[in-house]
């Protein structure tokens, strides 16, 4: 068994304050016996609009924010997964940075990097244009990491609306999909969040652990969903909270015996290049 904690808060524009929140939430998760603590998308820095402030906030993966997160992972003895604004080389004619990469990083209890995921599908929807300042990640084989025999994969926010993303992670052997999000509030958005998280768990017979930002920047509703689609831990609108649940590879195999949808399917997933 592995215990996963989903941590929910509302990151702001003060990166040092966000780092302190990471440390406190990780400590709460560890106190509940968590082996893995999942934090939201844009844990490093969140502003009211996705604009050039995010570009200025970006750091390399060995920068001060992730260095502080690594210290927290070591101090609490947990795997820590969180969303950061990663520097990229995209520049304008004056040599100024124009974009960053929306990256989800998994750190081990020793502070070392276990896996990362650079968001593929950018949130150009519901009146937002993430692509103005975010560079999409490359389409690569999903990275996973293993904790006590449980294989975990990574996914970010808007990707939840694209079932192929989760299917590729399941095909890579994951028992659990760790989903970090800033699920922006809007018409029926909370319903979409719950429905899609449960659907991705059911159709792939995997756990989905989803950590979303709290209001005002996110819709909250962080949860852990089991392979049958049942939420086994959940948060509502809480501004600063942790919920945790145990997951196991044995439960995934049990469900796949009853519902062998992955082995019965007739189609595979192939990349599509956008023009």
160: nearest Cα among 195, 125, 113: 195
Annotated active-site residue in 15, 86, 87, 119: 119
The answer to whether residue 66 scores a pLDDT higher than 90 is: yes
Annotated active-site residue in 86, 87, 157, 246: 157
pLDDT digits (tens, 9 = 90+) for 214-240: 999 999 999 999 999 999 999 999 999
Residue 157 bears catalytic tag: yes
Distance CA(92)–CA(95), nearest Å, equals 5
Return the half-sphere exposure (C-beta side, CA atoms, 13 A cut-off) of residue 18.
25
Query: What percent of the chain is predicted at pLDDT more than 90?
Result: 92
Residue 41 bears catalytic tag: yes
Residues 195, 198, 200, 203, CA torsion sign: negative
Q: Which residues contact 252 (CB under 8 A, 6 or more apart)?
A: 175, 205, 206, 207, 227
221: phi > 0 → left, psi -120 to 50 → alpha, else beta; which? left
- Beta carbons within 10 angstroms of residue 147's beta carbon: 21
State the pLDDT confidence band at 273, using cuts at 50, 70 and 90: confident
Tokens of 57: 């906030």
Tokens of 120: 């593929």
State the pLDDT confidence band at 128, using cuts at 50, 70 and 90: confident
pLDDT of res. 92: 65
Distance CA(80)–CA(36), nearest Å, equals 6
The answer to whether residue 90 scores a pLDDT higher than 70 is: no
Mean pLDDT throughout 109-118? 98
pLDDT digits (tens, 9 = 90+) for 160-216: 999 999 999 999 999 999 999 999 998 999 999 999 999 999 999 999 999 999 999
State the pLDDT confidence band at 271, using cuts at 50, 70 and 90: confident
- In terms of Cβ atoms closer than 10 Å to its own Cβ (0-12, 13-18, 19+), residue 213 is buried
Residues 198, 203, 208, 212, CA torsion sign: negative
Annotated active-site residue in 15, 41, 59, 130: 41
pLDDT digits (tens, 9 = 90+) for 25-65: 999 999 999 999 999 999 999 999 999 999 999 999 999 99
- Residue 131: phi, psi to the nearest 5? -65, -15
Distance CA(92)–CA(108), nearest Å, equals 36
Structural domains of the chain, with CATH: 2-264 (3.60.110.10)
> What is the model's pTM?
0.96
Distance CA(19)–CA(150), nearest Å, equals 28
């Amino acid at each position: 068994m592995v215990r996963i904690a989903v941590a929910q808060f509302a990151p702001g524009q003060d990166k040092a304050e966000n780092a302190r929140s990471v440390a406190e939430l990780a400590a709460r998760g560890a106190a509940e016996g968590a082996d893995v603590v999942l934090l939201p998308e844009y844990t490093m820095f969140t502003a009211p609009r996705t604009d050039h402030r995010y570009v200025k906030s970006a750091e390399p993966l060995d920068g001060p924010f992730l260095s502080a997160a690594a210290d927290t992972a070591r101090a609490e003895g947990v795997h820590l997964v969180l969303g950061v604004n990663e520097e990229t080389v995209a520049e304008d004619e004056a040599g100024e940075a124009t974009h960053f990469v929306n990256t989800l990083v998994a750190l081990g209890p020793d502070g070392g990097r276990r896996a990362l995921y650079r968001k593929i599908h950018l949130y150009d929807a519901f009146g937002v244009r993430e692509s103005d300042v975010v560079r999409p990640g490359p389409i690569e084989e999903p990275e996973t990491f293993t904790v006590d025999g449980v294989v975990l994969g990574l996914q970010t926010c808007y990707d939840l609306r694209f079932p192929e993303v989760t299917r590729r992670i399941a095909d890579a052997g994951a028992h659990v999909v760790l989903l970090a999000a800033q699920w922006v509030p809007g018409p029926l958005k909370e319903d979409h969040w719950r429905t899609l998280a449960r659907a991705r768990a059911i159709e792939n017979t995997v756990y989905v652990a989803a950590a979303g930002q709290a209001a005002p920047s996110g819709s909250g509703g962080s949860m852990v969903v089991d392979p049958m689609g049942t939420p086994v831990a959940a948060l509502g609108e809480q501004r600063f909270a942790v919920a945790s649940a145990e997951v196991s590879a044995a439960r995934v195999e049990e469900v796949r015996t009853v519902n062998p949808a992955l082995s019965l399917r007739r189609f595979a997933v192939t990349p599509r290049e956008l023009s």
